[in-house]
Amino acid sequence: MIRQLILTEFLSASENTPVVDVRTPAEFEQGHIPGAYNIPLFSNEERVKVGTAYTKISKEAAILLGFELTGPKWADLIRAAERIAPDKKILVHCWRGGMRSGAMAWALELYGFTVAALKNGYKAYRRTGIDSFTREYPFIVLGGYTGTGKTDILQELRRNGEQIIDLEGLAQHQGSAFGSMGRMKQPSQEQFENVLAAALLKLDPGKRVWIEDESITIGKRAIPQNIFRQLSNAPLIRLDIPMEQRLQFLTKEYGGLDKDFLKESVQRITKRLGSLAARLAIQAIEEGRMSDFIAKVLVYYDKTYRNCLDKKRATSIYPLVRDHIDPIENSKKIIAFCHEQNIDPWKPSSSPNIPTGQAAAVK
């Protein structure tokens, strides 16, 4: 009999053992356990046929059809599993721990694999992930105008042993009209929630967690409501860096991107930029004046940030002025500043600073 693991046991085992998701490619793309491999027992179309047989004829008819469809595939399925797990130790799951994962586990065990299956399947993982959004986390938010190098600072904090949640990395988007960088593809909303949940579940709840100030949407992906509420109420260290430094940083980061991509991105926000500013920005792109292009769109994003200032509690803002962009140096200064100001994510803040809001939707 195939060994069934509850979710915590399954995830623990997955640290050293490959996970195979036997659901269809469409199901897998919609959402899956991070790091899992997809070896689909049925194609998207075949699953529809089996489901129809189950509901309109009988369970037995669906099982027979399933065997007919998979019969010629078993050798290839086993070879695919062997490529993923050459030591023949593997974990499998389907939607709710039913016939698909059971059939795959049986075939692999017959071939000589050591197999364990996830009790209640992907459904159990999804439920636990959603539950993780209802918990409270000791967030400290890193904010500031666009172009202050916040994401780079977060990564430097991680390298120095701090806990972070990189929302933009998880969403595969840097938050603005230009945030895909012309090359990144966002996961589905469900998969964004899955990878966010995986990151949250790994946190030590007794230690602070650094997270970047974001709008509720990052590209086309939405931050879960309760997590966003916590970001809105958490203490925020607002990094203030001179405009000239920010222009240089953003020109280096965005100025080399494909010009057609940049122009299309400007056109999408023409109503918000204003027709004149948008036309001048596009002209600057065409003429290779990338610093001028950045300056034009930065006016809009800075204005958006200022318009959001009142949405943040005044008592939770800690302005930190730096004269240049240096992730290593600024991350050290931020840690020191946090200690100097006694910023505690578990306690109400008492900082007498000006209000600020969720950051404009760019870094």
Q: Of residues 94, 266, 320, 360, which has the active-site annotation?
A: 94
Helix (H) or strand (E) holding 117: strand 114-118
308 included as an active-site residue:
no
DSSP-based three-state secondary structure for 97: coil
Find, among 125, 117, 81, the residue nearest to 98 by Cα.
Answer: 117
φ, ψ dihedrals at 63, nearest 5°? -65, -45
CA angle 125, 128, 134 (to 5 degrees): 150
CA atoms within 13 Å, Cβ hemisphere of 189? 8
Give the strand pairing for 163-165 and 209-212.
parallel
Tokens of 301: 């994003």
Return the SS3 of 164.
Answer: strand
- C-alpha 219/C-alpha 189 separation (Å) is 11
Q: State the catalytic residues.
A: 94
